[in-house]
């Protein structure tokens, strides 16, 4: 049975930081704490895959109609292929990009990915990528030490060819690491949609936005900011964010919902996930809903009566 849009008067967008779809993220304090550390420090990808349930969760999501779905922190090529197969079968157009790397990884492409799915049949639109901007960062010395320890431990049982690939990877990671990405697509009649995952400790963060801010066309950005106070961030950078607004009030939060972090909400980012739009987006509602990740789903509904949706 083919899904039908609930309303012809709006477009529904949804975003989630998946946390790799790790099943145990809401388990006991001890297991949740252990497995979060395990993910960032371990190289045993097979164990992470075993403890993931991304196929089941994505399949449930697409039982409802969504015009655009944005996911961040999808771990590794295997999970990317799983969700791509599911969404393409449901007639979504898929845009994917590697988003950021881990110091513990020993393969070039076994990193975290961001993916956008667009239901082009919603308005018979044709979407296209405008730009993909990778964000680089030089990590702290502690992560360089950890990476070196991993590399030295791994030398015991590898071939010469594998050693060369691993050496080149770690040599590059010692200089810089992929720390996020800004992916922007055009939907129709100039409407831009940006999806990204960034870290606020990057000293060059403002320079990466210069090619992703649009002041003369409607533009909405949905992302995991990892910025404690997004309103202050916007005010401090008016040259980029003139006429942009943010969604979440201070009494809302999208993080953290894993048990071991829930008691520390005052000292961590309450609202890393957020929605920002410019003055050309006149009617938009955003809210959060519960998820199995340690983040909440971020849902935005843009009423389209102020747009001309005739295809160019």
DSSP 64-119: S--SEEEEEEEEHHHHHHHHHHHHHHTT-EEEEEEEE--TT--STT-SEEEEEEE-
Cβ atoms of 70 and 92 within 8 Å: the answer is no
Under-70 pLDDT residues of the chain: 1-8, 20-29, 42-44, 139-140, 150-151, 153-157, 189, 248-253, 256-270, 305-312
Give the whole-angstrom CA distance, residue 174 versus residue 109: 17
pLDDT in tens, 227-280: 777 888 888 888 888 888 887 665 566 776 665 565 565 556 567 788 899 988
Largest CA distance in the chain: 64
Q: How far apart are CA 179 and CA 187, in angstroms?
A: 26
**Which ranges of the chain would DSSP assign to H, the alpha helix?**
29-41, 45-50, 54-61, 76-89, 141-153, 160-175, 230-236, 238-241
pTM across the whole model: 0.84
């Amino acid at each position: 049975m083919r899904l039908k849009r609930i309303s012809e008067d709006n477009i529904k967008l949804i975003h989630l930081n998946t946390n790799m779809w790790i099943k145990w993220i809401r388990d006991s304090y001890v297991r949740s704490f252990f497995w979060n550390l395990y993910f960032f420090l371990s190289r045993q990808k097979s164990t992470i895959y075993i403890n993931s349930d991304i196929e089941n969760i994505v399949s449930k999501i697409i039982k409802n109609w969504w015009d655009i779905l944005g996911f961040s922190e999808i771990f590794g090529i295997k999970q990317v292929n799983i969700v791509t197969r599911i969404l393409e079968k449901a007639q979504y157009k898929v845009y994917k990009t590697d988003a950021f790397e881990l110091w513990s990884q020993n393969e070039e492409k076994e990193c975290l990915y961001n993916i956008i799915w667009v239901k082009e049949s919603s308005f018979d639109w044709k979407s296209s990528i405008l730009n993909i901007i990778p964000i680089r960062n030089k990590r702290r010395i502690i992560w360089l030490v950890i990476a070196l320890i991993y590399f030295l431990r791994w030398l015991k049982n590898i071939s010469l060819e594998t050693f060369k690939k691993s050496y080149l990877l770690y040599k590059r990671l010692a200089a810089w690491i992929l720390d996020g990405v800004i992916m922007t697509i055009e939907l129709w009649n100039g409407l831009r949609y940006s999806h990204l995952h960034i870290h606020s400790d990057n000293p060059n963060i403002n320079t990466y936005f210069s090619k992703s801010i649009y002041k003369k066309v409607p533009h909405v950005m949905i992302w995991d900011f990892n910025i404690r106070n997004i309103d202050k961030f916007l005010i401090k950078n008016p040259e980029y964010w003139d006429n942009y607004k943010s969604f979440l009030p201070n009494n809302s939060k999208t993080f953290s919902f894993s048990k071991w972090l829930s008691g520390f909400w005052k000292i961590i980012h309450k609202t890393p996930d957020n929605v920002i739009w410019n003055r050309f987006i006149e009617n938009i509602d955003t809210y959060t809903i519960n998820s199995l990740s340690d983040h909440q789903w971020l849902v935005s509904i843009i009423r389209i009566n102020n747009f001309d949706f005739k295809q160019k």
